């Protein structure tokens, strides 16, 4: 719902371009989960410990394309979650 008041660092254990795709899927259920809100929260970190900000996500999206197979896999995971929640 809201990232305010959270006091922990969230380390993403996947490539940044995979996280960008996951973020796109999250936006279908949490419309405020955007590069801007992620950046402002200063909560999300890449595997290497790099703070994930809006610029990193935009650069990753434009320069580091994710293979279609991975996009389909991520989409399928979210579809299964939606089915389970009914």
Other CB atoms within 10 A of residue 37 CB: 17
pLDDT tens digit sequence for 73-84: 999 998 998 888
Specify the pLDDT at position 65.
85
pLDDT tens digit sequence for 5-55: 888 999 999 888 899 999 888 887 788 888 898 899 999 999 889 999 999
Residue 11 makes CB contacts below 8 A (sequence gap 6+) with: 45, 46, 47, 49
């Amino acid at each position: 719902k809201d990232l305010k008041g959270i006091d922990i660092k969230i380390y993403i254990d996947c490539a940044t371009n995979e996280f960008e795709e996951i973020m796109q899927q999250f936006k279908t259920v949490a419309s405020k989960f955007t590069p801007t809100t992620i950046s402002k929260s200063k909560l999300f970190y890449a595997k290497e410990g790099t703070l994930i900000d809006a610029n990193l996500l935009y650069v990753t999206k434009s320069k580091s394309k994710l293979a279609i197979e991975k996009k389909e896999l991520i989409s399928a995971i979210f579809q299964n979650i939606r089915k389970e929640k009914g």
